[in-house]
Structure 1
Amino acid sequence: MRLAVLAFLALSACASVPMSEVPERRATQTDLPPMKVFAGRAQQAPARSNAEIARDFLELSFEMESGRQLPILTRFEGPIEVELRNAASSSLRNDLDRLIARLRREAGIDITLVKRSDTPEIVIETVSRRELQRYVPQAACFVVPRVAGWQDFKRNRRGAVTDWTSLRQREQVSVLIPRDVSPQEVRDCLHEEVAQALGPLNDLYRLHDSVFNDDNFHTVLTGFDMTILRAYYAPELRSGMTRDQVAAALPGILARINPAGQRSDPGTAARTPRSWIDAIEKALGPRASSSVRIDAARRAVAIAQTRGWRDNRLAFSQFALGRLIMPIDPRGATEAFLSAKQIYDSLPGHDVQSAHVAMQLSAFALSAGQANSAIGLVEGALPAAAESENAALLSTLLMIKAEALSLTGRRAEAAIVRLDSLGWARYGIGSDREVRSRLTEISALSPARTRF
């Protein structure tokens, strides 16, 4: 299930003047350029040892996000047909085509998108976000077993039909996603929920290179994720196997599909306690008051520090805290972001996470009139934003860079960068209105607005 967490973009909190003072020529772009989309690229193989991947596989595959244990492995046995219902846009179909092709090529899964099937193994259906969250308030999107679409889910949602722990084999699963959100958010839901429809149902906050992580930094399936799914559908495994049986088979499977991982095991991060998970989920949740969320974020930081973590869990705690206290304590937020970035920069393979923090820091630099610092932070983050196919992050970084360029007097260059940002924003942020709103929000950060 992809959580409906609060957005990490609270950039307007840095502005010190009313939005009505934003110069109109920046805020009311009338003709937006065509939507930009990613061409796709090969994902890097996981950098961890096979012994560590095997431990991750077992924890992902035999536990639920709630902590409930799964007694056996379940998967589809045989070819998998996928039916898409109520497709809201051409971008949804294009992104699904690309995902199916990647699953066939990179994970070796016999999966096919069909126009119509009497008994599709996976049903993907779009519904309105309001309707979806009426039934599952905390979810941006989710996956359920033994139902054939939205109406079937509503009829059976309270019974044992949708209980994953009672499955012996997967035969039909539904992926339910919102249709009235940005193309990127739809794509992100496709990747995470289809992956869980096929394989592991758990998310682990310690995984820095995976969509099986509720921090939502990775939005498309990574090389690690494809390795997990390839192992999940290895011929040595089958539905009904116990954890011990799967554990015995994994070393041979991983040696075959990931020979680069056959090296000494550097060890793995300690298991994440429920107290930290509860604190971070409270901090990110949309329903608690801001003071409750801030207290929860501080509690997550304290737990991470007490346990001596110096990994992405401590960094994410600091990142969440910085985002939450930004409106009331900009200096404290900056310190939290700097702490998070220092940790992320020290860890291999955390470029995406560093890019998210750099976006927040570049916004602060822009609002302080430090244009060159903002440009440097943005340029350092752009490669990771593009490589991770995160158009929302990419467009926001480019908007910040455009404002910083304008602040240095490089207006022609700024206009080109701003136009580029809008093409990515149409995919990553959504409607024309939302794109213009983000442009206005970024524009409001620049001290240059006070001169109009």
Structure 2
Amino acid sequence: MIVRLLLLAGSLALASCAPVPRQHVAERGEYIPSRLPPMKTFTRSGAQAPERSNSSIANDFLDLSFQLESGRTLPVFTRFEGPVTVRVTGNAPASLDADLTRLLARLRTEAGIDITRIAPGRPAGINIELVTRTQLQRAVPQAACFVVPRVASWAEFRRNRRGAMTDWTTLRSRERMSVFIPRDVSPQEVRDCLHEEMAQALGPLNDLYHLTDSVFNDDNFHTVLTGFDMLILRATYAPELRSGMTRADVAATLPGVLARLNPKGAQIQERPRGRTSRAWINAIEGALGPQNTMEARQGAAKRAVHIAGDEGWDDNRLAFSLFALGRLSLGADPELALNAFLKASNIYASDPSTVLHEAHIAMQLAAFALSSDQAGTAIAIVDRSLPSVRQAENAALLGSLLLVKSEALDAMGRPDEAARLRRESLGWARYGFGTDAEVRKRAGEIAALNPNSRQDRT
């Protein structure tokens, strides 16, 4: 499932330096126009090839393809055999067509999959149906979107959801899949669901927390298919593989497949990582689970940090544990939150494959800096993060970072620059957050971080 991780810092009472004087600080209403600017969208993908050894990619391929997220094993390898068709049914939002067109083009060119969209009235291999978020979560609580085998519609899924028909472990080849996506969420959430669930309809069904360069990771930092993901899908549809192969069969064949598809990976030395324990996964799931009390979630995040430390991890799993702890401590213990974010940022900064992860931390650190009258520091933090966020096509994070920067510019007495940047940020926020009301809410939350704004209301 997809979990939104972006959390705005809110007003935090921190030690700060003196604010830069300003002659005039306008009311917040002047900064958010009555008519929001047009929604901005991404038009060019910049996925990079994975910088990892083929041996580690092969191990990840096997774990992604022969195990479910629940831990259940899959007896055989499955994929579509032959061309794949896709149709869309339900009341789709206007943004879906362009995002699906871009995704299908990438799957054809980067993953080498013969995949095309067909009319809604024709039978298809992959059926994308738009339903309401309430319907979706009533059927599968806590899921943002999901994919199911052997059914072609929501109604067929509801009739067969508890039987062998929708059991992935009984599958021997893929012929018919359904992807269910909520229609009443932001354009970015719809797109993110398209990427993750379409990828799982075509290939891997598991998520691995140690992956730093993939959507197949429940930390959900990457929300559009990466170069690693496209390589995994290209290998999935390599002519050397076929549905029905066992794990041993695939393991014996993969080295040749990857040598052909990713020759650079043969020259890279493998960096072994310890396997992720079920105890840590349970702790992280407890920290992220909104059904738990805040106290229980904070306790689970602390357990995740301790488990990661006991395991000797110094990678993205420890950093993610700290990130979760920081998010959950913002309201109750800002100092603990800041320390957790700083530690997580240092870990992410040490690995070139986690620059996007570091940018999520940067949002929190920039918010702290802005709230404590350190406008110049906030701007520097934001500017370092913008390239990776644009490349990852995360409009919600991009819009939020630019809103922080616009407030920082405003606090430094540069209102014209702030106004221009605020307009750009609102365009990205419309794609990232959806409704005008939600965009205004997010913009208002970030504006409240500006100490000059708080002074206006006293």
Name the TM-score, length of structure 1 as normaliser: 0.96
- Structure 1 pair 47–6 and aligned structure 2 pair: CA distance change class (3 A): closer
Structure 1 unaligned blocks of 5 or more: 17-21
CA distance in 2, matches of 1:118, 1:414: 50
DSSP-derived class of the 2:99 partner: helix
Q: Post-superposition shift, 1:451?
A: 3.0
AA aligned opposite 1:193: E
Matched, 1:207 2:205: no
Which residue does 2:6 correspond to in 1? Answer: 8
Deviations 1:316-349 (A, max 9, x none): 0000100000001111100000000000000121
5 Å matches for 1:340-355? 340-355=344-359
- Structure 1 pair 264–94 and aligned structure 2 pair: CA distance change class (3 A): closer
Deviations 1:257-276 (A, max 9, x none): 11111125323211101110
CA distance in 2, matches of 1:224, 1:8: 24
Question: What's the Cα RMSD here?
Answer: 1.5
Deviations 1:269-316 (A, max 9, x none): 111011101100110111000000000000000000111101100000
Which residue does 1:137 correspond to in 2? Answer: 141
Q: Post-superposition shift, 1:444?
A: 0.5
Matched, 1:79 2:77: no
CA distance in 1, matches of 2:205, 2:13: 41
State whether residues 13 and 326 of structure 1, in contact with CA within 8 Å, keep that contact through their aligned partners in structure 2.
no
Q: How many residues align?
A: 446
Alignment match of 1:407 (pick from 403, 408, 411): 411
DSSP-derived class of the 2:159 partner: helix
5 Å matches for 1:35-434? 35-116=39-120, 118-434=122-438
State whether residues 6 and 284 of structure 1, in contact with CA within 8 Å, keep that contact through their aligned partners in structure 2.
no
CA distance in 1, matches of 2:149, 2:269: 36
Structure 2 unaligned blocks of 5 or more: 15-25
CA distance in 2, matches of 1:182, 1:299: 33
State whether residues 10 and 326 of structure 1, in contact with CA within 8 Å, keep that contact through their aligned partners in structure 2.
no
State whether residues 15 and 445 of structure 1, in contact with CA within 8 Å, keep that contact through their aligned partners in structure 2.
no
CA distance in 2, matches of 1:30, 1:7: 29
Q: Post-superposition shift, 1:7?
A: 4.1
Which residue does 2:451 correspond to in 1? Answer: 447
AA aligned opposite 1:281: E
Q: Post-superposition shift, 1:370?
A: 0.6
State whether residues 27 and 439 of structure 1, in contact with CA within 8 Å, keep that contact through their aligned partners in structure 2.
no
AA aligned opposite 1:14: L
AA aligned opposite 2:422: R
State whether residues 52 and 268 of structure 2, in contact with CA within 8 Å, keep that contact through their aligned partners in structure 1.
no
DSSP-derived class of the 2:162 partner: coil
State whether residues 6 and 286 of structure 1, in contact with CA within 8 Å, keep that contact through their aligned partners in structure 2.
no
CA distance in 2, matches of 1:186, 1:218: 14
CA distance in 1, matches of 2:121, 2:263: 38
State whether residues 301 and 317 of structure 1, in contact with CA within 8 Å, keep that contact through their aligned partners in structure 2.
yes
State whether residues 87 and 126 of structure 1, in contact with CA within 8 Å, keep that contact through their aligned partners in structure 2.
yes
- Indicate the percent of aligned positions where both proteins have the same amino acid: 60
